[in-house]
Structures are given as structure tokens and as C-alpha cells.
Structure 1
Amino acid sequence: MKTSVTISAILGLAGLSSAHYTFDKLLVNDVKQGGDNTYIRKHTRGYMPTKGDEILAKDFVCNTNAQAAPQVMTVKPGDKIGFQQAFGANGIEHPGPTQVYMTAAKNGAKNEDGSGEWFKVAQSKICKAGNAESLRTDAWCSWKENNVNFVMPESVPDGEYLVRAEHIALHGAHAGAAEFYYACAQIKVQGSKATAISGPTTKIPGVYAVKDKAINFSLWGSSTSYPETPGIDVIAGGEIRGSADGKSGDKRVAAPGGSGASSNKAAAAPAANNNGAPAPFNNNAAAPSGNNGGMGFGGKANVNAAAAGSSSCQNRKAKRFES
């Protein structure tokens, strides 16, 4: 049995190894905005993934030699934002989760270097329950989609941000070779009623460690679920798509605020300046709970929201603002 699983893994890797990609087009409500790299920073890695200890390098922020894009896209809470594949790619065919992180651009998105604190606004996992084979293919929410997408949360204050979309391909994760595909967009949020972010923050690089369970998870056994969650928790009000086992289907729900984290008070961030940087973080806001269940967008409770496990990185690297 061990031999057959190994052979299956080798054959699977051979079939997936050529399907590399990157992102260079920005979508807003499924409509392309501008041209290639108008709003998404261009980098020199091309369609090749980041692997292994490369996730600890400075270029892991927005990818190798990423340069500021010429324009900043203005969006409002509730808009669907997508990072579309480049080079005529027509769909993600690597199994694995997606994440979207944001960092406040205090001096404008074009000038932001990404060295500050990042928070997670969205994640997707499994949208279709099935067997072990489907976990290696189409169980994932992102399977065959040509973009990493999310809905801008109501809980993100007005201001300019770098927004980093990421897909982690797990077909080689069992051998320490998870593949990271990612890029950064320059976005301005306008029309939000929020004044603070409630949730954990992290540094990039630093959000993942090379040995984290979430990025060393084997798809080549009998597992039908992905109980790990890469990186930190999604902020309160951020988007959680799918679940650990896919039994909830392809649903997007809002991450709740936690009631048990009142001792983790957030310290004030720099106040908004003339370029629209975000308002201070809320000193009294509770961080989101780790179960990632909660309220659906629009305030309806979704009882099917699955609990998501936290990675070792969450306990080690996730950092809450402290007074």
C-alpha cells in the first residue's frame, strides 16, 4: 500500500508540475480594471512558485523585485476583488487554500514597502466534500478558478492598503515543497463605516515557518479534510469560504469577533493622515475566535460554518497589538 501511495504521489506531481502561474490583473465585481499590472505590482519571478525557506526572504512580501504599480484602485466594502492569472492561464489546477492579507499604507499604497503589520481578511479551503482523491483535485474552493477572490469586509476602515493574495499549492507539501503563488495590489478603501481592525496581525515574511503543519500537509494518504489553517486567523468580519471538510459547501461567511479575548487589547495605530491611511486600531476590540464559524454576510448565522484548526505558526508568530 505504501508503494502504491508513493507511485500515485509521483504521478500526481508529474501532472501538476507544469501548471504554474502568477497574478497580474485586478478584477472588481468580476470586471477587469485597467491592463496587466495597472494595479498589481509586477515582479520578476514570473510564473514560478516560491518554495521551502524562500518564504523567509524579504521578497516573500509581494514577490521577487516587485515594483510599485502605476495606479491605486478605489473600492468600497462589499465589492468583490479578484487577482486574475497572467499569461492567459485559465484556472488554478493545484490543490490548496487561498489567503488574502492587507497592510495599512500610511504614506500611500504606491510607497508602501510592506514591512509593517499585516492582517488576514479572507481565506478559502474546501468547498466540496468527497474522498481522498478529490482532496488532491477539485474539492478546493479555488479549483479551476482563474483568480483568487474575496469580498472586501465592512470591518476594514477607509484608507490605502497593500493587498496580498496568495494560493498555496499542497501537491508537494508532503516533501517540504509547498508552492506559493502570490502578488500585491494597491487598493484604496472608501465608504467604510469601520474605525478599527479587530484581530491578530503578523509580519511578512514571518507569517509561516518552514516546518508549519499547514504547509507540510500530505494530500497523498487517506485524509478527506484539511484541518489546518495557514497563518493567522481572519479578522472579525473578514471572509471565510468553504470549510475544513467541505460539508458546508461553497459558502462565504463572516468571521466572528471573539468574546473570550477581552484581555488582548489592541494598541492605537497611527492616526489617519491626509492620504487616507486607516484610523487607529480599536483598543477595546475583541480578537476573532479561533473556530472560524459565525455569522454570514448580512448578519445571518450560518450553523454550517466549519471549525478551522490553527497552525503552530498561529501560536508562535501571530501577534496582537498590546497596550
Structure 2
Amino acid sequence: MRTLAIVALLGVTHAHYTFPGLVYNGVTEADWAYVRKTTNFQSHGPVTNVQDSQIRCYEIEPGSNGAKTMAVKAGDAVGFRVDGAIQHPGPLAFYMAKAPAGQTAESFSGDGASWFKIYEDGPTFGEEITWPSAGLKEVSVKIPTCLAEGYYLLRVEHIALHSAGSSGGAQFYQACAQLHVSGGGSKTFSGVSLPGAYKASDPGILFQLYWPTPTSYTNPGPAVVKC
């Protein structure tokens, strides 16, 4: 079992990825048209320091970087094209942050305790651990139906755990799309700060994936909000 784990680890060492293309109403938009261009747009490499400001939106430069804002309806599915496919084992999550009054999705930096989680997945346990996001080339989430109208950032995050057995080994891949949400309710949610929501020692970040085979997993960060 340990030999197989080592082989699996070596086989995915360079399988990095980005989330450049927004997907809505069956249309995959051009890369970085509605997604803030990420620092890893060429390297596809991860963020490993959870205290780094890059853990938020991984922006190559602060701000929209020329990305536009997509108008969407609450209750609709919004997704991201994955460049390279998700080839590392680990959890997928989506966060949102509402722009304050007087700001738009393009001007909002995402700072402060503004991020709330709208989705997270978890593994299936057996002789090996399997993850729902494994191999996906597109990921999507339903915008909460109760969400108040306004400008939002939608953040996708995948945490790769293949090297997470030591502190700083977990790899974070994330990106932020710019949305205007309408047709929902009046609900707003309190949030967490990014960076700030994670610690390197969190059990879902410092995690021995391969041996001995785990039997449980705790997602890091806040709980998923409910309408």
C-alpha cells in the first residue's frame, strides 16, 4: 500500500491547473474575460502559504485586471473551466463575497470578513480515498436562491492534499469571477477573511493522505451557509 501511495504521489507531482474560463448558461467564456487573471496563469502552480494574500483570488495584479462582470440569476449554476483538469486529490469549495455599497465586483478587493462558503465536497473512504472532483475539466455551483441582489466575487478553491502530510505541503488553487446577482431574496451572510480563515495546522490542511489510510476528513474554513 505504501509503495502504491508513493507511485501515485510521484505521478501527480506536476499536474497543476487553473480556473480561467467562466461557464454560464451553457457558454464557456474566453479565459480571463470574467475571471480575474491569476498569478499562475502560465505556471499553473499553487499557493502553499495560507497567510499569503494570494490565497484570496491569486490575482496577478490587484483588482479586476480587465475582467468584466457577468449578470446571473440566483438559483442558477455558475462554473469554471479547469485548464488541465483537477488531477490532484483533495476537496473542492466555492465562496462568495458581496461588494459593499458603492462598489462593484470590479472595484471590490475582497478584503475584510466578507467571504462565506456556499459549497464544499468531501471524500469517499475505502481501501483508497476518492474525491468527487477528481479529473473534472469543469466545476460549477448553484448560486443560493435567497441571496440579496448585488455585486459579488465568486471564488473557486481546490486544495491538493498529495503533499499535505507536512506543514505547508497542501497546495491551493483558486480564482475569482465577477458577478452581479439578481432574482433572489434579501439574505446577506457574515463571513470570514482571506487570508485569515485558515491555519497551516488545520486538520483539513495538515493531512496525511496516504498512510495509514484515513477514515475521516474535516474541511477547513467556515461551514456552508444555508438559505
What's the TM-score, normalizing by structure 1?
0.64
* 1:23 maps to amino acid: F
The structural deviation recorded for 1:123 is: 1.0
Q: Which has the higher strand share?
A: 2
Match of residue 214 from structure 1: 204
One-letter code aligned to 1:82: G
Shift of 1:23: 0.8
**Paired residues of 2:47 and 2:54 also in contact (CA < 8 A):** no
Q: How does 1:85-124 map to 2 (within 5 A)?
A: 85-86=82-83, 89=84, 91-106=85-100, 107-116=103-112, 117-124=114-121
Matched with 2:151 is 160
Shift in Å, 1:130: 4.9
Aligned partner of 2:171 in structure 1 is: 179
Aligned to 1:58: 53
Aligned with 2:57: secondary structure? coil
Query: Is the 2:110–2:153 Cα contact (8 Å) retained in structure 1?
Result: yes
**Richer in helix (by share):** 1
* Aligned counterpart, 2:81: 84
Q: CA deviation at 1:227?
A: 2.8
Q: Secondary structure at the match of 2:204?
A: helix
**Whole-angstrom distance in 2 between the partners of 1:49 and 1:160:** 27
Tell me which residue corresponds to 1:281: none
**Residues 247-275 of structure 1: per-residue CA shift (max 9 Å, x gap):** xxxxxxxxxxxxxxxxxxxxxxxxxxxxx
| CA apart distance, 1:77 | 1.6
CA distance in 2, matches of 1:234, 1:130: 22
The one-character-per-residue Cα deviations of 1:32-56 (angstroms, maximum 9, x if unpaired) are 13x11000000222300111xx220
Say if 2:191 is the partner of 1:191: no
Name the structure, 1 or 2, with higher relative contact order (CA <8 Å, separation 6+): 2
Q: Which of 15, 19, 22 is matched with 1:19 structurally? A: 15
Q: Is the 2:198–2:221 Cα contact (8 Å) retained in structure 1?
A: yes
Alignment match, 2:131: 140
Per the TM alignment, residue 195 of structure 1 is displaced from its structure 2 partner at its CA by 1.2
The alignment status of 1:43 with 2:38, answered yes or no, reads yes
The alpha-carbon deviation at position 92 of structure 1 amounts to: 1.1
What secondary structure sits across from 1:36 in the alignment?
A: coil
Contact 1:105 1:160 survives alignment (8 Å): yes
- Does the residue aligned with 2:36 lie in a helix, a strand or coil? coil
Query: Rg bigger for which structure?
Result: 1
CA pair 236-222 structure 1, distance change in 2 beyond 3 A: same
1:268 is matched with none
Counterpart for residue 232 of structure 1: 222
Report what 2:69 is aligned to: 72
Distance 1:142 1:226 in 2: 17
Unaligned runs of 5+ in 1: 238-323
User: In 2, distance between residues paired with 1:76 and 1:196?
Assistant: 14
Do the aligned partners of 1:8 and 1:220 also contact (CA within 8 Å) in 2?
Answer: no
**8 Å contact 1:55–1:210 — kept in the other structure?**
yes
The amino acid of 1:12's aligned partner reads A
Corresponding pairs, count = 219
Instruction: Indicate if the aligned counterparts of 2:87 and 2:134 stay in contact, CA closer than 8 A.
Output: yes
Structure 2 residue identity aligned to 1:174: G
- Give the TM-score of the pair, scaled to structure 2: 0.89
Deviation at 1:14?
A: 1.0
Tell me by how many angstroms 1:78 deviates.
Answer: 1.8
Show structure 2 runs of 5+ residues with no match. none
Aligned equivalents of 1:182, 1:142: Cα separation in 2: 14
